[in-house]
A and B are shown apart, each in its own frame.
Chain A
Amino acid sequence: MDEISYAPAEGLLSFTWALIALPALGAAVLLLAGRRADKWGHWIGVTTIGAAFALALGLFASLAGLENKSADLDLFTILSVGGLDIEASLLFDPLSAVFCLLITGVGFLIHVYAVGYMSHDPGRRKFFAYFNLFAAAMLVLVLGGNYFMTFVGWEGVGLASYLLIAFWQLKPAAATAGKKAFLTNRVADVGFLLAMFLMLGTVGTLDFAGVFNAVEQGNSNGAAGLSEGTSLALGLLLLAAACGKSGQWPFQTWLPDAMEGPTPVSALIHAATMVTAGVYLIARSNVIFSLNPDVQTAVVVVGALTLLLGSIVGCAKDDIKRVLAWSTVSQIGYMFLAVGLGGAAFALGIIHLLAHGFFKAGLFLGSGSVMHAMNDQTDIRRFGGLWRTMPLTYATFAAGWLAIIGLFPFSGYFTKDPIIAAAFAREGWQGWVVGGAALLGAALTAFYMTRLFVLTFHGPKRWTEDVHPHESPAIMTGPLVLLGIGSLAAGGLMASPVTEWLTPVFGEQHEAHGHLSHMQVTVATTVAVVLGAALAWLLFRGGTDEVPRAAAWPVRAARADLGGEAVNRGLFERPSRLAASASVAMDGRVVDGAVNGLSAAVGGSSRRLLALQTGFVRSYALSILSGAVIVVAALMVVVTQ
């Protein structure tokens, strides 16, 4: 492969920084203006992100006109130590371009929706400030021209998500969820940090080009570049970081809890943008991953495991947002699977990510609309028959539902089926296992999404007495309609142009052919999806119990998140508590004992010795005299020895 290099930015592309500056400026204004901005502040938030979207479109067009399809922009030097220079550099290439469009485009729609959704919330200005901050951080993440900048955005996203998940911080569940998200992410971030340290230690730079070239050299002629072990470690560390941000096994538990935040937050952070950061990181580092079959296998395993885990748990949840959250876990699993498979599947993962951005945002916003109508209830057992009262929400939700389960000719069909096919194309027995898992996941997805859809909008009304459902205002349904259209069409429209667009990033790839032909996979998937959906339809069209009943062990296990929480409790919480109480005991008895004993000894001897300080000159003189005698005597002793 040729050396990787990025062309310097020119023309409009040298304004890439404004993409970040716009929402950052919005956040700053909103936070600094204080209460004065309460009345109009949210429009600043909407305007800045809208302007950023317009700019992103312009940049996208300029990039399309470039021959080498990349624009590198060095802003200033952050750190210059010895031979190491860390630049604040931005990289606008096809990969970051599609992410920018997704973040600003879908982000804009969610912003508009949130104007309506948060209209009665006293903290709306603060909410939009955090929202803008989040968008800015995410843009830093995807635009960063080196791992350091990516990390800055990475941490910024972590902070903003903490602020937003715990937005209703007086609610203990929300505060806890925010903390959990932040801590889980921090643990995974250690992977990112270690990866950066490793890069600095071995390659001596954090620039994408520098690292990738070193990895490639190491692959082609071992001596000059990175050793195989180093690039393996790099890959695994980056994978750990990606798993944390994307809610992949074993870090999945924070994601469903994060639904404690306001619903637009769930849509923005946990469907369209933040959770995709992990996918972005792997896609960006595709060179490292492609050249390491072992790391790729790890990614594939994580992806397949998580997509099954998410879809199984999704079947057992009764909270509308939690079902969607687990479905996010599962869908990101598909994306991980795709980028783990490598080659042509890299692009498939990104396309699925884009399509998912549309339909999951639509689904989340739709669920917010339903909650709005149902007095903020989230239990689907107490919904039912809403299609008549909320036609627009119903229609858009249906679009998202069709898109996610992937029936022809809707989005998921064009984006998920190829991933399943690629999974089957993996060599040897692994292909059967991974492909089977992906296929099973598709059936399960169809089942739980249909269950969700039917229980919410169809069947008998199981409402609590005081609810009077109504359709949401236009400012909320408008974005819903746009996202609904996007959900239906995005997959079909994007599939082949985006693959072509991303070619400069991932290189020219040819589709692999494996155990099953594409046609066979399509048929199998469609059958699985239809079976899953039909089963759910049959089971739930007549409604369900208003409270969960005792159930067999698989359901109980799924309701308990398949042991995710239990593992956390057993593996981390209990040992930590034990260690904490042990160190408290240690501190109380041993350390404090020693310290207190020591201080008592010092204080006691101080008081006793001070008795010598009588205040009489004669005793002072005696002290001097005895001192003199001792000095003379000591000199004699030393000398006579």
Chain B
Amino acid sequence: MSESTAVTIDWAGLAPLVIVFAAAFVGLLAEATVPKSRRLPVQVALAVAALAAAFVAVVLNADKSGTVFALDGVAIGSVVIDGPGLFLQGTIAILSIVAVLLLAERRTVRGGDFVAEAAVVADSAADLEQRREDGATEIFPLTLFAVTGMMMFVTSGDLLTMFVALEMLSLPLYLLCGLAKRRRLISQEAALKYFLLGAFASAFYVYGMAMLYGFAGTVDLAGINAAGVGSGQPRMFLYIGVAMIAVALLFKAAAVPFHMWTPDVYTGAPTPVTALMAACVKVAAFGGLLRVFNVGLSSSAWDWHLILTVIAVATMIGGAIFAVTQRNIKRLLAYSSIANAGYLLIGVIALGDAVGQTMFYLAAYGFTVIAAFAVVSLVRDGDEEATHLARWAGLGKKSPGTAVVFTILMLALAGLPFTSGFTAKFSLFAAALQADELGLVIVGVVSSAILAFPYLRVVVLLWLNEPAPDAPTVNLPSPMAGTVVAAGVAATLILGVAPGFLLDIVDQASTFLNT
């Protein structure tokens, strides 16, 4: 068997992953070779260039459909090139560019919002010393590794590859969460919590994978799907496997009751990292969910439909209700991201009918939420972010520009017309109705109504309340954060007013390759 083995690799299809992965290594080398003063521009330029090149590679692959690897002419489905995979890769690349720019922000906090060593005991002498230094630039290679993991996650065709991708995107993120320069202890706590719970969830994944292998005799998603119809093994393996895999993926997607890490980690992590998680990781997690359920588990849909529906309802209602009483803007956005996970779950449950609309929602939500976190990072009390909402009162009088931008973003999250929030929700719910998910859509609308309250309360706070005498200052955005906010708001408005072009794209890219 061994002599005749010939592996063919579709390098062009693999290019997006290779480019970002290679750039991450080059970035690590740069840490060692480039003088400290020049590292930041080099790292930022490298990261942005790599992500842009990856995006170009994705676009060049646009019409492609197939597997990257083949053995003796037989396709091996470990990495799959198809419409949804490419679209999500492209979305991750673009959103990552925006997130990288936010990571590169150096004006709001002198030297950047990051320390070099996460593990130094908080507030010790060494910690105080490293806080005085300019921010670490290792965050850029770390981010690129995570992004590689995300892009692999949405294109992996078997559970094993997917697991590697999952760990690849998670590990750098655990580290990034602990690098905040201010409020070190909370940051370290966030990193630890995320790591422990993430490891816990990964264990579920591995166990579920083992169960499914036991059931289907393969980890290939298409193979599992085929086995769902005709396997002779006890179906118990299938059910436990589905449940375990679902738990792990829903953990990453932050669905109730696997959501509890989200508010703590979102609050503790440095805000640019939170933005990266809320936008890009969300895309990756739902990309994985879409693929697993559409490609691997659609034949057993009847079995998991009820429990996933229950989880979606709990997530939508829970996220919205939790958000209502939040007083911290980052926690509010965290719970809103949980509720949004619920809406996206509708798209997963609706399977093939809603793949395109779910992807549109992911892109629209990603831009809005990244811009929202960028604004959060700009409103500061001295050195620290003013995350308590009471401090935002009357911002419209002091900094009308920032307040207008944040108002637009809040309205978008609330789903008002002429923003991407409306078009995304509308198309997703419409698609779900096509798939006969009326009940879920009703819950989604009710949840949106509840969730509109905290968003609009922020708007009221911004415009109708008197500012406190020691109200937080708004740092005039540097080119970096300014670009992020501008890009996010522009995308929010464009996708709200003229969403047609992107809807056309997702429409064409909504078919998974069932290898």
Contact = CB atoms under 8 A, between A and B. Distances in A.
Interface of A: 599, 602-603, 605-607, 609-610, 612-613, 615, 617, 619-621, 623-624, 626-628, 630-632, 634-636, 638-639
A540 B304 CA distance: 99
B324 A603 contact: yes
23 contacts: A606-B321, A606-B325, A609-B318, A609-B322, A610-B322, A613-B263, A617-B197, A621-B197, A621-B200, A624-B200, A624-B201, A624-B251, A627-B247, A628-B243, A628-B247, A630-B257, A631-B246, A632-B243, A635-B240, A635-B307, A638-B306, A639-B235, A639-B239
Interface in B443-475: 450, 453
Contacts of A602: 321, 324, 450, 453
Contacts of A610: 322, 325
B310 interface: yes
B261 interface: yes
Given A635-B239, A636-B239, A628 B244 contact: yes
A479 B197 CA distance: 93
Interface in B210-268: 235, 239-240, 242-244, 246-247, 250-251, 257-258, 260-261, 263-264
A613 B318 contact: no
B264 A615 contact: yes
Contact of A624 (B257, B304, B307): B257
Contacts of A605: 321
Given A620-B261, A621-B197, A635 B243 contact: yes
A617 B453 CA distance: 30
Using C-beta atoms within 8 Å of the partner chain, give the interface range for chain B. Answer: 35 or more
A64 B99 CA distance: 76
A619 B259 CA distance: 12
B133 interface: no
Contacts of A638: 302-304, 306-307
Interface string B307-349: 1001100000010011111000000000000000000000000
B410 to A, nearest CB: 18
A613 B263 CA distance: 9
A613 B318 CA distance: 12
Interchain residue pairs A-B with the least CB separation, the first 5: A634-B307, A627-B257, A620-B260, A606-B325, A635-B239
Given A612-B260, A628-B244, 14 more contacts: A609-B318, A610-B322, A613-B260, A613-B322, A620-B261, A624-B201, A624-B251, A624-B257, A627-B250, A630-B257, A632-B244, A635-B240, A635-B303, A639-B239
B384 to A, nearest CB: 20
Contacts of B201: 624
Contact of A620 (B197, B302, B324): B197
Residue among B192, B201, B321 having the largest count of chain A Cβ atoms under 10 Å: B321
B476 interface: no
B127 to A, nearest CB: 22
A517 B235 CA distance: 108
B303 to A, nearest CB: 6
Q: Is the interface of B mostly helix, strand, loop or mixed?
A: helix
A599 B304 CA distance: 33
A459 B204 CA distance: 110
Contacts of B12: none
Residue among A627, A632, A638 having the largest count of chain B Cβ atoms under 10 Å: A627
A65 B385 CA distance: 81
Contacts of B239: 632, 635-636, 639
Q: Is the interface of A mostly helix, strand, loop or mixed?
A: helix
Contacts of A612: 260
Contacts of A634: 306-307, 310
Interface string B389-414: 00000000000000000000000000
Contact of A623 (B258, B306, B310, B324): B258
Contacts of B311: 631
B486 interface: no
A599 B451 CA distance: 12
Given A634-B310, A635-B304, A627 B258 contact: yes
A623 B261 CA distance: 10
B160 to A, nearest CB: 21
Given A602-B450, A606-B321, A624-B197, A632 B257 contact: no
B341 to A, nearest CB: 14
Contacts of A632: 239-240, 243-244
A613 B243 CA distance: 24
Contacts of A607: 325
A602 B260 CA distance: 19
Contact of A631 (B200, B247, B318, B453): B247
B6 interface: no
A606 B318 CA distance: 8
Contacts of A628: 204, 243-244, 247
B45 interface: no
Nearest to A612: B260
A632 B307 CA distance: 9
B193 interface: yes
A624 B247 contact: yes
A634 B314 CA distance: 15
Contacts of A617: 192-193, 196-197
A636 B323 CA distance: 33
Contacts of A635: 239-240, 242-243, 303-304, 307
Contacts of A630: 257, 307
B465 to A, nearest CB: 19
A589 to B, nearest CB: 22
Contacts of B197: 617, 620-621, 624
Given A631-B247, A635-B242, A621 B196 contact: yes
B243 A631 contact: yes
Contacts of B453: 599, 602
B457 to A, nearest CB: 11
A284 B263 CA distance: 71
B257 A623 contact: yes
A639 B235 CA distance: 9
A635 B200 CA distance: 21
B260 A623 contact: yes
A603 B325 contact: yes
A613 B204 CA distance: 22
Nearest to A619: B260
A624 B193 contact: no
Nearest to B321: A606
Contacts of B302: 638
Contacts of B263: 613
Nearest to B239: A635
B383 to A, nearest CB: 24
Nearest to A626: B257
Nearest to A625: B200
Nearest to A636: B239
Nearest to B323: A606
Nearest to B257: A627
Contacts of A609: 318, 321-322
A610 B303 CA distance: 31
Interface string B173-204: 00000000000000000001100110011001
A347 to B, nearest CB: 54
Contacts of B240: 632, 635
Nearest to B324: A606
A329 B155 CA distance: 81
A222 to B, nearest CB: 46
B307 A631 contact: yes
Contacts of A623: 257-258, 260
A605 to B, nearest CB: 6
Residue among A603, A607, A624 having the largest count of chain B Cβ atoms under 10 Å: A624
A627 B250 CA distance: 10
Contacts of B310: 634
Interface string B277-314: 00000000000000000000000001110110011000
A623 B314 CA distance: 13
Nearest to B308: A631
A615 to B, nearest CB: 7
Contacts of A639: 235, 239, 303
